[in-house]
Amino acid sequence: MTPEERKLIKDLTKCDFTELEKHLKEKYKKKEKQYAYCKINGREQKIKNCNVERPGLFCPINNNNLMGKLKKRIKPEDIIINCSEDKIPEPPPRHTWKKVEHDNKSSWLAKWNDNLTGKYKYIILDASSNIEQEKNRKIYETARELHKHIAKIRENYRADWTSSDPEDRQRGVAMYFIDTLAFRVGSNNTNTITREDEEENEMDKEDPVGCCNLKVKHIQLCEKNKVRFDYFGKCSVRYCRIVPVEELVYENLKSFTNNKDKDDALFDMIDNNKINNYLKSQMPNLTAKFVRTYRACTTFENYLNTKINRTDTLADKVKALKQATLEVAKLCNHKNKDRFEIQSSKMNYIDPRIAIAWCKRNEVPLTKFYSKTQQTYFKWAIDEINRVGAYFVFAKYNI
């Protein structure tokens, strides 16, 4: 405040900022109308993040080797635009775009290379856009289709444990971890940040550890067929647990670690491509990501079906919804500062139709689980349950 204002204003709590707030909201709406929407196939679509990241020190949610590193200012010369050939936006005065592409098979609108990770960051469509809604629906439908094939897949990978081919044995054990422990598949060749990365809003200095890039140092064989895992996965979240495994899995792990140094690959004969190609041979379009989603959805659905009665109070039902989501967070190891965090599980891994149908059957207001904003992301699911009824089942006989 100026010296004159200080003489007039002695107590800020008595000031009325209503007009200022109104002015700022109107200013934001004008900016949003100009930059927060695009047209695809003639239809207006909302953009999720219409601003590039500001420069500054990187402050991750979880422990990260990049903490305190400087994020540089993003200039137009760093940005690649994706648009129609006749609708190229003008860059700011005295600037040029790095490149303009016309990829009509992708929905990203702009991207730039992050100076800390060397990976691309994207301007993408909002989850409420009809394109993202349809993409979301297809993800859960593919995971749901897996239920028809999961028994055979499990039978096949268990048979691999006793194969004479060491590659088959490694694949069988890796599949066991991906299915039973809901491990990410892992990759050594990641050069982009996906929608899920955007949702979880983090960066990794190195490719995060997943199943296929586990090293010998990441596991410890304990007594009585138990294995201790200790590694940093996606978003630098630590996975540290002792889990029981089947005897044949334990014996195979012994052979996989035999005569290897601690920095050697545990699964040195397979990679994420081999795992995903194997899964596609079991079911069209199937990848390890869908197995993880399937496990999350069935965990959520099973909990709700076994832990609550229709006669329970509303408070008990709401508590059950939160606890079911927490079970998914534990399965998928979704954490924030060493605490399990349910938002990523709720928004990225649980088929919203399960929760919406359950709430409808049990007379629980949907706002008790999804906020009004979150409901716009899952409009497709709300419309479907309103159309087909409240007795939607993700997996008829959960396994």
- The confidence score (pLDDT) of residue 312 equals 87
Does residue 201 register a pLDDT over 80? no
Give the pLDDT score at 178: 98
pLDDT tens per residue, range 128-187: 898 999 999 999 999 999 999 999 999 999 999 999 999 999 999 999 999 999 999 987
At residue 360, does pLDDT exceed 90? yes
Please determine, for residue 214, whether its predicted confidence score (pLDDT) is greater than 70. Answer: yes
**Helix (H) or strand (E) segment spanning residue 166:** helix 166-180
Q: Is 349 a catalytic residue?
A: yes
Alpha carbon distance 333, 383 (integer Å): 31
What local confidence, expressed as pLDDT, does residue 207 receive? 67
pTM of the model: 0.83
Q: What is the pLDDT of residue 327?
A: 97
* Arithmetic mean of pLDDT, 106-129: 92
The residue that leads in pLDDT, 390 or 61, is: 390
Task: Please state, in angstroms and rounded to a whole number, the distance separating the CA atoms of residues 354 and 351.
Answer: 6
Please report how the helices 288-307 and 314-332 are oriented relative to each other, as an axis angle in degrees rounded to 10. 150
pLDDT digits (tens, 9 = 90+) for 272-289: 999 999 999 999 999 999
> Which H/E stretch holds residue 111?
strand 110-113
pLDDT at 51 over 90: no
Burial grade of 204 (CB within 10 A; 0-12, 13-18, 19 or more): buried
pLDDT of residue 231: 94
Q: Which residue has the tokens 């990770």?
A: 117
**Which amino acid, residue 344?**
S
| Residue of higher predicted confidence among 335 and 194 | 335
What are the Cα distances from residue 131, in Å, to 30, 284, 290? 24, 22, 19
Kindly give the pairing relationship between strand 80-82 and strand 99-101.
Answer: parallel
pLDDT at 398 over 70: no
Q: What is the pLDDT of residues 304-347, one digit of tens each?
A: 998 877 778 999 999 999 999 999 999 999 998 778 999 999 99
**Residue 30 contacts residue 36 (beta carbons within 8 Å):** no
Average pLDDT taken over every residue of the chain:
90
Q: Is the pLDDT of residue 192 over 60?
A: no
- Which is the catalytic residue, given 349, 377, 391, 397? 349
Reference 112, options 101, 128, 127; nearest CA is 101
- Rounded Cα distance between 268 and 182, Å, is 20
Q: Are 297 and 144 in contact (CB under 8 A)?
A: yes
Q: Helix 130-145 and helix 288-307: axis angle, to 10°?
A: 80
Q: Is the pLDDT of residue 200 over 60?
A: no
**Alpha-carbon gap, residue 97 to 112, rounded angstroms:** 11
CA atoms within 13 A of residue 121's CA, in its CB half-sphere: 25
What pLDDT score does 331 carry?
A: 97
Q: Which residue type, as a one-letter code, is found at position 43? A: R
The predicted model gives 217-243 an average pLDDT of 93
Distance CA 129, CA 111 (A): 19
Is it the case that residue 44 has pLDDT exceeding 70? yes
- Tell me the mean pLDDT in the region 187-206: 46
- Residue-wise pLDDT for 364-381, tens only, equals 999 999 999 999 999 999
| Contact by Cβ (8 Å): 100, 81 | yes
Angle between helices 247-257 and 166-180 in degrees, nearest 10: 120
- State the average pLDDT over residues 233-248: 93
